[in-house]
Copies of this chain bind each other. A is one copy, B any other.
Amino acid sequence: MENQINLTYKQLEIDSLGEQFYDAPINITSTYDENWIKYESDNRRILFENVINVCDNVGLSSQIPLSFELAGQRKKLYFNPKETTFAIVTCGGLCPGINNVVRSAVMRAYYGYNAKKFYGIPFGYQGLVPEFGYSPKELTPKSVRYIHEQGGSVLGSSRGNQDVRKIVDTLIKLEVNSLITIGGDGTFRGANEIYEEIKRRGLKISVVGIPKTIDNDLLYIDKTFGFETAFSEAAEAITRAHVEATGAPNGVGLVKLMGRHSGFIAAYAALALREVNMVLIPEQKFKMESVMKFAEKRLANRGHMVIVVAEGAGQEYFKEERDENGKPKKDASGNAKLEDIGHLLEQEIKKYFKQKNIELNLKYIDPSYMIRSAPAYPTDAVFAGQLGSYAIDAAMAGKTGLTIGYWKGSFTHLPLKLATSGRNVISLESELWQSVLKATGQPFDLH
């Protein structure tokens, strides 16, 4: 992450519902010993910046340095565990690992805190609005036991936010003490509104987010669940594209991958496989002509080529669609609607080589939904499980308006507002992008 940061300590403070009155339970199973359980403390924090320049006269001032509150089980709880009711909701597009998060949260609530009840909300925020007619289903350790083996979300998901007043009404009606929301940008803006509506009404309901963005593009969060699975599956698609490219004269394998604003999946998949000859990402504008010239040169030299394009790249080639008020069109999640750069590239390349009268065999691969719906790889399974567990810990301690984060090897607490305040993108000067350029051999400058 190489983005300019302008943060204050204040911004990193986590809100709380009030005094932590209850002791964490210790005798749920007979196997635990009180003295053995290790609790996390609000005072231990992880530094924002852990690289120093020993030539600067740093000494790190006596002020508290920029740092994140650490996630983890607290010894004192705000909620009385055995009276606590949770609800969990999954929003936005699918992402590998959602079911792992849900499962782990439920297990943690029941086995870690002896919680009273745990609701699974069907189909995203829609499930919290009575008009849609969905009923929450109760989740138990037994009912979630095997859900992590499946991709997708057993609860179902939906895009878009709903009326926060109705949502809070539903939470009250269900006597929910804590709402866990799994989602991305748009979902978190919604979660933040719910959190503020709760505050406005003086309710004691905590709102805890778990970041879900397959693109791994959140500021202040090093890694989101599902990302490793996504680029691993993308790498497989690239292998197949390479096979197609080498299987015909002047073969081109063109793979469109996820990445609305950030090209992380494209970059990592290219690094994992190293059979990619050009990566186009949203962070770098490109001239169509430069792409064509590089492709022509590559085919002349080697006879085959693989191009990877992130869905958000090259949007400048489309006239922005605007609604009746002249505003850019957005989808139900509030994301700008992307035009299909993959098909545009396909057409442009075909046109270019036809004009030049050069034989071309282009195969277009779009594995998007096959990746989003994959079950989590084991590394993501562990990671997603930890996120779900920490969300319950945060909620039990009365923390609210926050999301669980991950920073330089530690799980953190991050205010919801901050999590949606910007985006992590690939700096073209970063080690990551340099590695991609070295691996592909593509020109640095595509203008």
Contact = CB atoms under 8 A, between A and B. Distances in A.
Interface of A: 29-33, 36-38, 41, 43-47, 50-55, 57-62, 64-65, 67, 70, 72, 94, 103, 107-108, 111-112, 123, 126, 132, 148-153, 156-159, 222, 228, 231-232, 235, 237, 239-241, 243-244, 246-249, 251, 253, 268-269, 271-274, 363-367, 369-370, 372-374, 377-379, 381-382, 385-386, 389, 408-410, 428-431, 434-435, 437-439, 441-445
B29 A243 contact: no
B444 A32 contact: yes
Given A30-B443, A45-B52, A123-B249, 20 more contacts: A31-B442, A32-B437, A32-B444, A36-B429, A44-B51, A46-B51, A57-B62, A103-B274, A112-B438, A150-B243, A152-B244, A152-B246, A228-B378, A231-B379, A247-B373, A363-B369, A370-B370, A379-B379, A385-B435, A389-B435
Contacts of A38: 429-431, 434
Contacts of A269: 378
B59 A62 contact: yes
B378 A273 contact: yes
A319 to B, nearest CB: 22
B374 A377 contact: no
Contacts of A51: 44-47, 70, 410
Contact of A274 (B62, B228, B385): B385
Given A32-B444, A44-B53, A386-B435, A247 B381 contact: no
A269 B159 CA distance: 31
Contacts of A364: 369
Given A51-B410, A272-B382, A385-B274, A370 B237 contact: yes
A156 B409 contact: no
Q: Top 10 closest A-B pairs, CB basis?
A: A152-B243, A272-B378, A243-B373, A232-B378, A50-B50, A60-B60, A59-B62, A240-B373, A152-B247, A31-B443
A417 to B, nearest CB: 22
